[in-house]
Structure 1
Amino acid sequence: MKTSRFALWTLAAALVGAPALAGDKVSFKDPTGDDNGPGTYKYPTDTVYKRGSFDLTDFTFEKKGDKGEITLGFNTTLEDAWKMGNGFSVQMAFIFIDTDHKEGSGSTDAPPGLNVKFAPKDAWEKVIVISPQATGRVKAEVGNKAGALKDNVLVPNKTKGSGRKITSTVDLAGLTGDPSQWGFQVIVQSNEGFPAGNDLLTRKVNEYEGQHRFGGGNDGECDPHVIDLLAGEGKGEASEVKAQHDMLSYECAEDGTAKKMATLSMVGAGEKATAEEKKAEEKK
Structure 2
Amino acid sequence: MYWNDQKYNTCVFNSSSSYLDMGATNTADTDKTFSNLTFTNTNVEGMVNCGIRIFSMQDTRKITIDGFHVDSWNKLNQSAQESLFKAFTNADGAPVSIGNQSTDHKGLLLHNYTVGGTPIIKSGDNWSSTELGRLNFDAGLWDNWDATADGQATGDAPTLELSGINDGETAAKRDLPVSGKSNAASVRISVNDGDYSEVPVTSGAFSTTVNLPNVSNTVRVTAVGDNQVMTVKRYKVYAFGTLVGSLNDPKGDDNGPGSYVYPSDSAFNKGSFDLRTFSVYRDGGNIRFVTTVDGGITNAWGGNGMSTQRLNIYLGKVSSSKARSTAATTAELPGTNTFTEGAWRKAIVADGRNNGARYGSGVYEPGNEPSKSADVDLSVVQGNAIVASVPSDALTGIDLDNTGYQVSIFSSAEDSEGIGNVRPVFSKDCWDGLNSCPSFVHNYRFGGGLGNVADTPAHDSVTTDSNAIDIISGNQSQADLMSLKKQQVVLPFVTFAQQDTDNPGGEDGGNGTTPGGEGPGESPASQNASGTTDKHRPAQKVLASTGVSMASIIAVTMLLLAAGGISYSIHHKNEN
Q: Distance in 2 between matches of 1:99 and 1:152?
A: 20
Task: Tell me: CA distance 1:153–1:41, structure 2 relative to 1, closer, same or farther (3 Å).
Answer: farther
Corresponding residue for 2:490?
A: 263
Task: Tell me: CA distance 1:250–1:224, structure 2 relative to 1, closer, same or farther (3 Å).
Answer: same
| Pick aligned residue for 1:227 from 457, 469, 484 | 469
Residues 1:35 and 2:254 are matched in the alignment: yes
Task: Tell me: CA distance 1:45–1:29, structure 2 relative to 1, closer, same or farther (3 Å).
Answer: same
Task: Tell me: CA distance 1:39–1:195, structure 2 relative to 1, closer, same or farther (3 Å).
Answer: farther
Task: Tell me: CA distance 1:62–1:136, structure 2 relative to 1, closer, same or farther (3 Å).
Answer: same
Q: TM-score, normalised by structure 1?
A: 0.71
Matched-pair contact (CA < 8 Å) for 2:348–2:362: no
Corresponding residue for 1:46?
A: 265
Rg (Cα) greater in structure:
2
Q: Distance in 2 between matches of 1:226 and 1:28?
A: 18
Matched-pair contact (CA < 8 Å) for 2:295–2:384: yes
Which amino acid counterpart does residue 332 of structure 2 have in structure 1? A
Q: Distance in 2 between matches of 1:270 and 1:152?
A: 29
| CA-to-aligned-CA distance 1:121-170 (integer Å, 9 cap, x gap) | xx210010011125333556989xx9634236654134334412111211
Residues 1:216 and 2:443 are matched in the alignment: no
Corresponding residue for 2:296?
A: 77
Matched-pair contact (CA < 8 Å) for 1:142–1:200: no
- Of the structure 1 ranges 203-212 and 48-57, higher mean CA displacement relative to structure 2 is found in 203-212
Q: Distance in 1 between matches of 2:340 and 2:274?
A: 22
Unaligned runs of 5+ in 2: 1-241, 432-441, 452-461, 500-576
What SS does the aligned partner of 2:478 have?
helix
Matched-pair contact (CA < 8 Å) for 2:354–2:421: no
Residues 1:188 and 2:422 are matched in the alignment: no
What SS does the aligned partner of 1:59 have?
strand
- Of the structure 1 ranges 30-39 and 163-172, higher mean CA displacement relative to structure 2 is found in 163-172
Matched-pair contact (CA < 8 Å) for 2:272–2:295: yes
Residues 1:246 and 2:480 are matched in the alignment: yes
Matched-pair contact (CA < 8 Å) for 2:413–2:422: yes
Q: TM-score, normalised by structure 2?
A: 0.36
Corresponding residue for 2:306?
A: 88
What SS does the aligned partner of 1:181 have?
coil
- Equivalent residues, number: 230
Unaligned runs of 5+ in 1: 1-22, 234-239, 252-258, 273-284
Matched-pair contact (CA < 8 Å) for 2:286–2:390: yes
Corresponding residue for 1:168?
A: 388
Matched-pair contact (CA < 8 Å) for 2:272–2:384: no
Relative to total residues, which structure has the larger helix share, 1 or 2? 1
Which amino acid counterpart does residue 266 of structure 1 have in structure 2? F
Matched-pair contact (CA < 8 Å) for 1:42–1:214: yes
Task: Tell me: CA distance 1:100–1:28, structure 2 relative to 1, closer, same or farther (3 Å).
Answer: closer
Task: Tell me: CA distance 1:206–1:153, structure 2 relative to 1, closer, same or farther (3 Å).
Answer: farther
| CA-to-aligned-CA distance 1:256-284 (integer Å, 9 cap, x gap) | xxx62111111104779xxxxxxxxxxxx
Report the Cα offset of residue 43 of structure 1: 0.7
Matched-pair contact (CA < 8 Å) for 2:318–2:492: no
Matched-pair contact (CA < 8 Å) for 2:331–2:340: yes
Q: Distance in 2 between matches of 1:179 and 1:141?
A: 20
Corresponding residue for 2:315?
A: 97
Corresponding residue for 1:179?
A: 400
**Counterparts in 2 of 1:143-162, with a 5 A limit?**
148-151=368-371, 155-162=375-382
Q: Distance in 2 between matches of 1:267 and 1:153?
A: 24
Corresponding residue for 1:203?
A: 423
Which amino acid counterpart does residue 414 of structure 2 have in structure 1? G
What SS does the aligned partner of 1:211 have?
helix
Measured on the aligned residues, the alpha-carbon RMSD in Å equals 3.1
Q: Distance in 2 between matches of 1:207 and 1:82?
A: 25
Which amino acid counterpart does residue 269 of structure 2 have in structure 1? K
Q: Distance in 2 between matches of 1:93 and 1:147?
A: 20
Q: Distance in 2 between matches of 1:248 and 1:125?
A: 22
Corresponding residue for 1:11?
A: none
Of structures 1 and 2, the one scoring higher in RCO (CA 8 A, sep 6+) is 1
What SS does the aligned partner of 1:188 have?
strand
- Give percent identity, aligned residues only: 29
| Pick aligned residue for 2:278 from 56, 59, 63 | 59
Which amino acid counterpart does residue 347 of structure 2 have in structure 1? V
Q: Distance in 2 between matches of 1:47 and 1:88?
A: 14
Which amino acid counterpart does residue 490 of structure 2 have in structure 1? T
Q: Distance in 1 between matches of 2:381 and 2:334?
A: 25
Matched-pair contact (CA < 8 Å) for 1:78–1:88: yes
Q: Distance in 1 between matches of 2:243 and 2:473?
A: 21
Q: Distance in 1 between matches of 2:481 and 2:349?
A: 21
Which amino acid counterpart does residue 409 of structure 2 have in structure 1? V
- Of the structure 1 ranges 163-172 and 132-141, higher mean CA displacement relative to structure 2 is found in 132-141
Q: Distance in 2 between matches of 1:148 and 1:61?
A: 28
Corresponding residue for 1:116?
A: 338
| CA-to-aligned-CA distance 1:42-72 (integer Å, 9 cap, x gap) | 1111121111010011111123344210111
Q: Distance in 1 between matches of 2:493 and 2:318?
A: 12
